[in-house]
A and B are shown apart, each in its own frame.
Chain A
Amino acid sequence: MSCSVEEPTMTTAEKRAKARAVHVGFCCKCKTKNSTIIIRYAEYCDSCFLIALDSKFRTALRNARPYRVVAPENVMLAFSGGSSSRSLIHLFDVFHSLPAEVVSNKQQPKIYNDIHVCHIDESCLFEQDSVDSTLHTTLEQAREIATGYKYPFHGVRIEDIYDPAWTDSRCFDGLAALITSLPKDQLAITGQAPELLSHILPLATPTSGTLKTEGSVKLSQQDKIDRLKALLAVCTTLTARETILQHFRSSLLVQLAKRAKCTTLALGDSATRMAVQIIGLTAIGRGYSLPHETSLLSDWVQDCKVIRPLKDCLVKELDTYCRLNELQVIETHAAKLDWTVRTRGEIKSIQRLTEEFITGLDKDFPSTVATVCRTVAKLTPPEVNYDNRCPLCLGPVQEGVQQWKERITVFTAPSSTSDSKVEETLQDTDGCCSANGAACCGGGGGSNTSSSCMPVAQNGRAAATSLSFSSLLCYGCLTNLRDLDLAAMGSKNADEPSSFDLPPYVAEAILKRSGYSSLEDYAERTTLTSAGTKDPQESLREQIQEFLIASDDDDDEGDD
């Protein structure tokens, strides 16, 4: 059916480039020195290579921010410890160490004012038991490198994602516990991914022994590590763990930049990494936010532009750059999570599979990386209100994704009403409620968006109001959270807690999206609710009553 697709044109282009390289053994730039470096089919001598890479970086930087801009801006360089972000620091330094006369004659004024460096220490996730996490800590190594350039350094540990301080309000003392919308015994027999709801809980819990007092709650470092590991443990796939961890990194990096009063966050993503990302994000359903996650310049995050000035440099080039400049990298720096793998089926994540795929393809078709990256440069990110961001990945949310899913993957039995022939003719195509009755689409945005997706929300006994969660998520997160272990989740009536919690920044975002101004506001309104005031969900339910299938006894009947 689809056998006639031609091979990419790159192979022929590549062959031609190869054929043109007549001066084998000589640098293709100066044509006098012997070549020492081969990048794809181009050969360079050391100094010409450095010049070429430097100018590539400058071009990207200029494209990310025109030289003419007058207002001084501070930039935060995200340093993971690897060769790409290590090169980033050095390239920034070389660029900003221009001779004074060049700077003064405004030929090439500084683009950025102050340069800061930040690092996320992930050593607590290197191995299962972080008995002596100080042994592998990367924070000090990173600090040393940054201070070597006399740049201010900002370090954070990945487990600090559970710290109330790393939120927009910088003191959000709450966590989000997930609960399922259906009783667990029912979940087991439908084999369907449940609608997820959330409870916002004050950070002080019996397990931590910390009681809620005035001011910020202090959690011990170990407590945070335990929570992070508990969350990763309920992910049933390596893909889900890696994806969630990536969201945590992004959230921390933005917070780091904002706190240091940097209006730009520079990432060291190489072309190689971008190509893997582009295919990988596509594969996990994140096509909607992909332009923001891979572009040279993204202005999605409020008050913090994200730039990727190395996105045209291959990882091989950056490795070479580090070697030639004798730049020290941190050998082990990113959490590998291999220790979390429990079954043979989950050894490979989508991210790792994609990495192998792209590197393999790039060997046979050496322009793969460049071609894939070029693709994305031609995309315009979607225009979405930043307030409507996904609480987990903080990315843009496309409307109607739950409905889209429900229409193309049907979960109703033949006898149920959705099959009735009367309601659907070719002309009747509007309304998401036409087909699935109770499982209507979620409302997007606005206050009180506790969506209508909760058929039987009788949570009167619950201590806290359950807020909708699934309906707030972007498609990618919705898909990713299907890989959560349902048994670990709280029960519908919240009489049984979940065995893991999502960090404060997620809880904060949920509240914001749900129309609460603060944790106090939520707590207050919850008290009112339990005192007999109508649950906002109840009133919503009344509005859509006529679309709901009478299901009062559903819970008890189950399947007999």
Chain B
Amino acid sequence: MPDKPLRNPCNLCHAVRAILKRPKTGQQLCKECFFHVFETEIHNTIVDNKLFRSGDRVAIGASGGKDSTVLAYVMKLLNDRYSYGLDLVLLSIDEGITGYRDDSLETVKRNRDQYRIPLLIISYKDLYGWSMDDIVKEIGRKNNCTFCGVFRRQALDRGAIMLNVDHIVTGHNADDIAETVLMNILRGDLPRLQRCTSIITNDTSDDSSGLETSKILRSKPFKYTYEKEIVMYAYFKKLDYFSTECIYSPNAYRGHARVFLKDLEAIRRTSIVDIIHSGEALSASVQANESTKLPTMSTCTRCGYISSNELCKACLLLEGLNKGLPQLGIGHSSKIRRMHEAAHALQATPSSPASPLASLSTADGAAARDERGKLVTHIRDLNRLETMPTLQAV
């Protein structure tokens, strides 16, 4: 150690000059100490919540953005450092958004090579017959996030099944979760408040409007990790990520909550974890009769995906798209059902299938469905799927 006192020493090691102010605590840290606390907190989250078991096959939902890029890097690092014994794979969804997803997928491919983790890319176009660009062309920009959300949830599940994984980890960070806690209180949605605060779920509802159960566990190792620190980590580790927001607009109401959260964080930097703590405590206080409001689940009669209605939300949206009734499936479920009935009435004269999927989904496949039992697949022609996307090994 130097004899002369350091100017601005790191608050933790006191040996090196601090180069950053930690967003979560305000401490002045050196690079190494920041990496250490950042990684250790994620490790603690994984260990304390018993997220994985040794030997688990875990898919990392990878979008090429900062969250999932850092997630892939850190998962790999911790898996090696602490010998978790996990079999990691990258899983990306190609929504088909020109200028956004095609570029970000290039990033994911580079990550695949840099981190030496195999990658599977699944596209909306292949799964549903519609890319997001197609959908926007058809319905305009309003409501397109509904489509995107519903399709993505199922797509991730489907990809996970193809990859035979036990678990999907997503890059939701503390800011996302705090924001969702606020949103759910503002909307009076207690069941969803409970699910957004639980770190590990078996449904796909964490960020979206629909509730669908899945056999595949999902978890958020970044639950307590600040967005700013993820950016900081990516910056100092010089990680390769894609930093453009989705070009199709986010909604206004969430925008209010986001601005509010940023203001709160500016007043008190612990606000984000404080809100998550509150959310967890409130979740524990939700009355039993409220929390069991999850609809009873059966399977979609068309694709076999777990659903509370006759048709799963994706199939309903697809039906609307294919029939030129894109409003179908957006909004209240009662309304959905009414429109669905209306759509059935229209079915007397079947419109020409707008996509290969439409023809697939009307084909009779009861036998095939029984064969696969409860296996969740959206497209019955699994063979076609399995040959379509190739697992891109390193």
Which of A37-45, A372-380, A459-467 is found at the contact surface with chain B? Answer: A372-380
Q: How far is the CA of A412 from the CA of B41 in the complex (A)?
A: 11
Give residues 286-337 of A contacting B (CB, 8 Å).
286-288, 290-291
Contact with A along B234-260 (1 / 0, CB 8 A): 000000000000101111111010001
Instruction: Check if A282 sits within 8 Å of B285, measured CB to CB.
Output: no
A309 to B343, CA, bound (A): 48
What 1/0 mask marks residues of chain A from 188 to 227 whose CB sits below 8 Å from any chain B CB? Answer: 0111100000000000000000000000000000000000
Min Cβ gap A63→B in Å is 16
Residue-wise, chain A 241-276 has the 8 Å CB interface mask toward B (1 for contact) of 000000000000000000000000000000000000
- Nearest chain B residue, comparing its CB with the CB of A404: B277
What chain B residues lie within 8 Å of A4 (beta carbons)? 145-146, 148-150, 152, 207-209
Q: Is A185 an interface residue (CB 8 A)?
A: no
Known contacts being A3-B251, A279-B182, is A286 close to B278, with CB within 8 Å? yes
Given contacts A4-B207, A424-B47, contact A288 B278 (CB under 8 A): yes
Docked complex Cα distance between A411 and B48 (Å): 17
In contact, A408 and B224 (Cβ under 8 angstroms): yes
11 contacts between A and B (CB under 8 A): A1-B65, A2-B179, A3-B251, A6-B209, A8-B187, A287-B278, A353-B263, A372-B186, A409-B24, A413-B36, A421-B83
Q: A350 vs B82: C-alpha distance in the bound complex, in angstroms?
A: 40
Complex contacts, B1 vs chain A, CB 8 Å:
560
- In the assembly, what is the distance between CA of A27 and CA of B148, in Å? 45
Is A7 part of the contact surface with B, judged by Cβ < 8 Å? yes
List residues of chain B with CB within 8 A of the CB of A398.
Answer: 281
- By the criterion CB–CB under 8 Å, are B287 and A237 in contact? no
Q: Are A378 and B282 in contact (CB under 8 A)?
A: no
Q: CA–CA, A371 to B209, complex, Å?
A: 18
**Are B246 and A3 within 8 A (Cβ)?**
yes
B45 in the interface, Cβ–Cβ < 8 Å? Answer: yes
The answer on a CB contact under 8 Å between A426 and B52 is yes
13 extra interchain contacts, Cβ-Cβ under 8 A, other than A6-B251, A379-B286, A426-B50? A4-B209, A7-B252, A192-B11, A285-B273, A287-B279, A290-B281, A348-B263, A379-B287, A405-B273, A414-B13, A414-B32, A418-B40, A479-B268
Asked if A1 and B207 sit within 8 Å, CB to CB, the answer is yes
- Chain B residues closer than 8 Å to A482, beta-carbon distance: 270
Let me know if B87 is at the binding interface, CB within 8 A: no
Q: Which residues of B contact A357 (CB under 8 A)?
A: 256, 260, 263
Q: What is the bound-complex CA distance between A419 and B40, given in angstroms?
A: 8
| Interchain CB contact under 8 A, A190 and B82 | no
* Cβ-defined contact, A283 with B271, below 8 A: yes
Q: Which residues of B contact A476 (CB under 8 A)?
A: 274
Partner of A189, one of B11, B152, B190, B286: B11
Is B139 located at the chain interface by the 8 A CB criterion?
no
Contact with A along B22-63 (1 / 0, CB 8 A): 001111100011001100110111111010111000000001
With the chains together, A404 CA to B281 CA distance in Å?
12
Check A287–B280 contact: CB distance below 8 A. yes
Establish whether residues B285 and A237, one from each chain, have CB atoms under 8 Å apart when the complex forms: no
Check B44 against A410 for contact (C-beta < 8 Å). yes
Beyond A287-B277, A426-B84, whether A282 also contacts B11 by CB under 8 A is no
Partner of A278, one of B185, B252, B256, B273: B185
In this complex, what residue of A is CB-closest to B25?
A409
Tell me the chain A residues, 405-442 only, with Cβ under 8 Å from chain B.
Answer: 405, 407-415, 418-419, 421, 424-426, 428-429, 435
A372 with B36, Cβ < 8 A, contacts A3-B246, A379-B282, A421-B81 known = no
What is the CA–CA distance of A285 and B13 in the complex, to the nearest angstrom? 30
Within B132-176, the residues touching A (CB, 8 Å) are 145-146, 148-150, 152, 170-172, 176
Specify the chain A residue showing the minimal Cβ separation from B277: A285
Judge whether B180 is part of the interface by a CB distance below 8 angstroms.
yes
Give the residue name and chain of the B residue nearest to A432 (CB).
B48
- Min C-beta distance of B252 to chain A, whole Å: 7
B263 to chain A, nearest CB (A): 6
B332 within 8 A of A: yes
Task: Evaluate contact between B209 and A378: CB separation under 8 angstroms.
Answer: no
Binary interface profile of A, 363-389, with partner B (CB < 8 Å = 1, else 0)? 011001001101100111110000000
CB of A412 to closest CB in B, whole Å: 7
Q: Is A392 among interface residues, defined by CB-CB distance under 8 A?
A: no
Bound-state Cα–Cα, A360 to B251, Å = 17
How far does the alpha carbon of A411 sit from the alpha carbon of B278 in the complex, in Å? Answer: 22
A5 pairs with B183, CB closer than 8 A? yes
Check if A429 sits within 8 Å of B50, measured CB to CB. Answer: yes
A107 at the interface (CB under 8 A from B): no
A369 to B91, CA, bound (A): 41
A9 close to B (CB within 8 Å): yes
Q: Indicate if the CB atoms of A350 and B12 lie closer than 8 Å.
A: no
Q: Which residues of B contact A290 (CB under 8 A)?
A: 278, 281-282, 285
Contact (Cβ within 8 A) A2 B180: yes
Whole-angstrom distance between the Cβ of B194 and the nearest chain A Cβ: 11
Chain B residues with CB below 8 A from A453, complex form: none
Question: Does B281 lie within 8 Å of A407, measured CB to CB?
Answer: no
Contact A371 B188, CB 8 Å, known A282-B278, A357-B260: yes
Smallest distance from the beta carbon of B97 to chain A beta carbons, Å?
Answer: 12
- Residues of B with C-beta under 8 A to A1: 63, 65, 67, 170-172, 176, 207
Minimal beta-carbon separation of B132 from chain A (angstroms): 12
Q: How far is the CA of A287 from the CA of B172 in the complex (A)?
A: 21
Q: Indicate whether A412 sits within 8 Å of B185 (C-beta atoms), given known contacts A281-B278, A283-B264.
A: no
> Is A284's beta carbon under 8 Å from chain B?
yes
Complexed CA–CA distance, A424 and B281 (Å): 27
